[in-house]
Structures are given as structure tokens and as C-alpha cells.
Structure 1
Amino acid sequence: MKKYILLNILIFLTSISFGQSKDQSKIFIDSIANQLIKKSEIKSLSIGIVKNNKTQVYYYGDTGNGNKPNNSNYYEIASLTKTFTGLLLAQAVNDKKLTIDDDVRKYLKGNYKNLEYNGKPITFRSILTHKSGLPYTFPNKPEIFINPDYDKLPFILDSLERNFTKDKFFQELAKVKLDTLPGTKFQYSNVGPNLTAYILEDVYKMDYQKLLEKYIFKSAKMKSTKLTLAENENKYLVQGYSTKRIKMPFNGPSIRAAGALKSTLPDMLNYIIFQLNEKNEAVKLSHSPIWKEQNGTYMKGYFWQMDSENGNDKIFQNGGSFGTSSWLEFYPKEKIGLIIITNVSGQDVHDKLSALTTNIYNKIKDNN
């Protein structure tokens, strides 16, 4: 009887400590999130946490219409879209449809002799690591990035990209002139992921949206992640701003596999859970290091960035549209993942989201 009473006391005390740790985490997150909103250009935050397949969401601030963000809001997830494209490429590698060191011209109609430099061709590996030499965007107008006005640049890019068709894409691709060996120089590119998606469509005889649905959305239980929103869903799409509170344009459809996806915070938490399940062979492959610096501390996955410290791998990526910024990271060994989204874009915003994510991770990682 005494043992039974003692056991119940221990269970009771343990449950209190669990509750207290969760409450303490919430108090901590509330404090640092509200402080960031108060002292920076960031005016709203949507924060999602996954730990051992359990999720928590936190919403702060005002999205610009007098309302706090919520589960129904859609956000442009911008370059986080690339990680979906990378996962589809990993699926193709796993299905033995191609390899990451294939010359991409093997899958293109036409010669495209221009997609090599000194005999070295563009490969999927060089695209995944942004070392292909392909330009940032099509149409290729490097002059617009010379001393740009960052309040006007999004509108210039939007006007160039909005009605850019597949035919125009391949016309521009034929004009590309590489100036260095693919695989040697970092040059961020939205062209590479879109080229990858066009190739995957040909390989699978299936369009990009259907590939997403078959290999990711269905398995990850993502019902609110889309390239194009329905008319009745657009009212839930959060307006983005510059740091000067200028309303920014939304990404056009031509950015496609490089940044066109819109999603909700709950759906992105499902995506993190899906990414944490490395029993899925394509998911595990997409996390494999395919490039690293000489010191071995920085690695690239399939459009993922990676860090390894004390044997604990952190896999992360950020997304930035004209008016939205996001930061996603997860730790497969610890079964922890976090995502933070805000509807403002600026040069220092991602650094602030990264720091906030690190602070939250350090607070929750040892809590039960």
C-alpha cells in the first residue's frame, strides 16, 4: 500500500514538473517574441514547434489588418519551396530515374552546348548547391541588381517574371553563358530549381503539382499547401511588407519550383514531422551531405543547408519573398523542429528569425 501511495505521489510530482516546463517555455517564448516585435521592424510572428511528433503553435502581433495571425493564414513560403523540389529530386534518384551527377542536358530536348564550361557540364549536384553558374532569375537582367532601390526592386522583378512562360524559360536557357566551371562558385539561382522541376516533369510524365501531391502532400498530410490558391482562399493570404511598411507584391506563378508555394503554419509543422521521419528513403537521401567546406562543418543537402556540431545535425533553410520571411530548422536525432514566419522582408530579418529560433531550441531541447 505504501509503495502504491509513493508511486502515485511520484507520478503526480512528475506531471507537475512536465506542466511547469511547458508553462516556462511558453512564458519564455512569449517574452522574447513580444520583445522582438516591440523593438524591430517585425510586427507579427507565427511560431511552430515539433517535438516527438507533438506540435505547438504561437501567434503574436498584427499582420497589418488589425488581426493576430492564426491557423487559417496562408503565407508565401518562398525558397522553402526549393526543399520540396529537392525532395522530389531525391525521390527520382531513389527511383533510379537519374543521378545527381548526371549532365542535365541528358534530359533536355536540344543540344544546349552552352550549359558547360571548358567541357564540364551543369549537373544536379551543382544546381542543388547553387554552384551551377545559372543566373538568379529569367529573364536574366543582372543590371537591375547594381545599386538597386530595394523598395522598387520587387516591383521590377515582379513585372519581369509574372508572365514568364515555359517556352520563354527554355529560350532564355539557350542564351546562358557560363563564366566558370560548374560546381566551383556559389551563385544563388532560382533558375536551377525550375530547370530541375521541368526535368522531373518529363522523367515522371507528371506535372510539378501532381508530383508534390503524390510524393509529399499525401504522405505528409498537407492539405493547405499549394502553388496557386483558390479565389476563396486568397483572403487568407497574409499581405507582405518591406521594412518601411510598404505593401509588397506577391510572387508570380513563374517562380514555381523555386518559390511559389503557399502554406499554413499547421501544414508546415506536418512537413517538419514528415522530414523528421528518416525511415522514408527519399527523405533520408535528401538530408545526405553532398558538399561541404574543408573544415567539414558546413554541408549541403538537397536544397537544405546543414550544420553538424557535437554529432548533432541541424538541417535548415530560410525563405524570403518580396514581403515574407521564414526560417525552418530541425534536428533528426532529437526529433525537434521549428519554423518561424513573419510578413516582412528585409536584409536583417532572417538573422533575427534565426537567432529567435536558436533561443527557443535551446530552451525546449531539454524539457520533457
Structure 2
Amino acid sequence: MKKHILIVGSGFSGMWSAISAARLAALQNSDELGITVLSPAPELRVRPRFYEENVSGFVAPLTELFTELNIVHLEGSAECIDTKGKTVSWRDKHGRTTVTGYDRLILATGSQAKRPPIAGLAEFAFDIDQLESAQVLERHLDALSAQPSTPARNTVVVCGGGFTGIELATELPARLRARFGEDTKTKVIVVERGAVAGGRYSEALRDVITEASAALGVEWRLNAGVDAIDAEGVTLKSGERIASATVIWTAGVQAHPLTQQLDAERDGQSRLRVNETLQIPGLPDVYATGDTAHARTDDEGNTALMTCQHAIQLGKFAGHNAAASLLNIEPYPYRQVNYVTCLDLGGWGAVYSEGWDQQVKSVRQEAKKIKIAITNELIYPPAADRKVAFAAADPLAKFV
């Protein structure tokens, strides 16, 4: 009877976990492993691009790839993990519940926006956290063009000045011009709790963000918190009122709630702390990867970020190690020493930096070419070809 690896999630880490596990089985000429991916649909949603226009196109089908690699897909959503019985119960689109067993479980359920108890946030704020919510925002922006031109209609407030907030805010001026015309005076405002724009980044990177924001007319409200959101705008904790028909929440993410079901240690973002082979201490048959894993990337104390850059590599290591444990092969300790930042800055261009100290290497159109290569090619699934897919899934191959 085959030993079974069950992977929950088909995002970056889940997809690459499956391919990497299949690769190792093929290298060992083993037909002992069964690899199954459980997710709502056999597709990769290219979430890093959800700040862009035409978001419905950022979905890559996985059926042909999975078929080529003998990976089984179960269409449904995981609801309950039983680590003692080594089963996962899940619900399909018809509401039917099924229980599936595993020998090794890889939890790759990703993350979701963190929504604090702010008045009106759930009712009135938009977000680009998931494909469906990003589509709602896009339809809302389309509908605005049929409304009378007012300061509220022409103003967008982005709550949160992290990576997603910056990319969305700097993209919005062009998206608004496309709808309202070049002569309409529009305004994009970023509300940020920190004291400087891009405060999470190096000084060199912050300077570029500031320069691009000024050139694009993106305003920043620094040292500012959101008190309440309603249908007509946002009220800040300072008492300032910003009239806006479009308030977008981008302030923080946390791991999927499924992580809460495991008796394990978590960090402040609900990510499961894992050892160097990405197993959960005390639960050796369970691996966490991608945005569900708090993992050390090197011996310098750096930990993986909740980005596709880390999710892809974490997935390759998790899949390899889960398969290795069933094939009696030594696992690979997860390491991802190289780190880059490539931040899209809308019509201004982009900025590309290298290293954890974020040394800026290129800006404007040169960096934009790098950004496009990453988001339009590098992070997409490999071709449905065993040789190509397996070469890309090698955990030790250079990625960035």
C-alpha cells in the first residue's frame, strides 16, 4: 500500500511541495508514494499581482501539471485536522464532508488579512487580500466613473504602508486616470502608523519610496491610526476626517486559522514554529510551509517572510523532506540565504534591492523590468513537463 503525503493548499508553497515530493520519488524510482493536494480549485492564484488591473486573469491552472506528475487533486476546503488519527476532514463545493488519511501532512494554507476590531472595517473597507475581494474592488472602481466627480469619489485611502499598501497606492493614480480621465484631479492617501514612509525598509529604500510617492502625487499620513470607516470615508485617531468613496485595508496579515487547530507553538502572526526540516516540534508527521511557517532562513537569525519569494522555496524543502522521511532518505535543512526586495512603484517604475540590509541595486525602468520578469514569469507554475518541473523543484537549485 502506498504511503500518502497530503498537502493542504495549492498556493505557492503547496504547489511546490507537491512537485518537489514527486521529484524525489521519481529520482528514487519509487512508486511507493501517493501525493494529494487538497484545495478549493486546482489552480495557483498569483496573489502578489492582486494590486494590478484585470485581477481575474491572475490565476494559473494546475490540472495538466498535476496530471503529468501523477499528483491527485481533491477539490474542497479543509475543516478539521486530527493529528492523532492522522486524518483531515474536508468539505467539497456541494457541502459534503469527507475524511482523508495521511502518513505525512504538509500545511500550506497561506495567510489572510488581519482585521482588527475597527468600527466599519468589515462593512465598508475594500481589500485585495483574496481574488474575490480584489475583484470587488475592481468592480467598485469601474462603477465610480458613472458617478459625479466629487473629492470623495476621486480620493482613495490606503490603510497600511507595508509592501502591499505601497504597491497598490503607487499603482492607483494610473488606474484612476484610466477611469476618470487625465484632467480629473485625483488623490491617493496612505495612512501609516509609522513615523516614515516605508519604515520597515532600509534608508536607501525608504528614500526611493518617498521620491516615487512625491512624483506620483501619493500622500502619506504618518504616525496615523484609523479610528473608524464608513460609507463616506475614514476618521483617523487624530480626529482628521478624509472623505472617500474608496477605503482599502492592507494593514497586516496572519496565518490561516487552520493553524490554530494544532497543539504547537505559534508566533505573533499565528505561524507555526518549525524546526530546520520544517516539521512541527512534537508533531513529526506534520510539516508547515509558506505563510503558515515561522522558519529560520540562515544562521544569522533571519526568518522567512510572508512573501512568495520564501513560500516557493519553503514549499520545495517541505515537499522534499516529507517524501524523504517516507523513503528513508536524509532530509535537507531549510536554508534560503539570498534575499531580494523588488517593489513596484507604479508609473514611476520600481526599486530592486539585495540582501537583508536592502542595498538598492536598480530603480525606475531598469528595476521595473526585473519586477515584470519576477511577477510575470518567475513565480508562475512550471510547464506541464516532468523534466522542466522537476528541475525547477530542486530545493538546492538557485532561485534568487
TM-score, with length taken from structure 2? 0.24
Greater share of residues in helix: 1
Q: Which structure has more RCO (C-alpha within 8 Å, separation ≥ 6)? A: 1
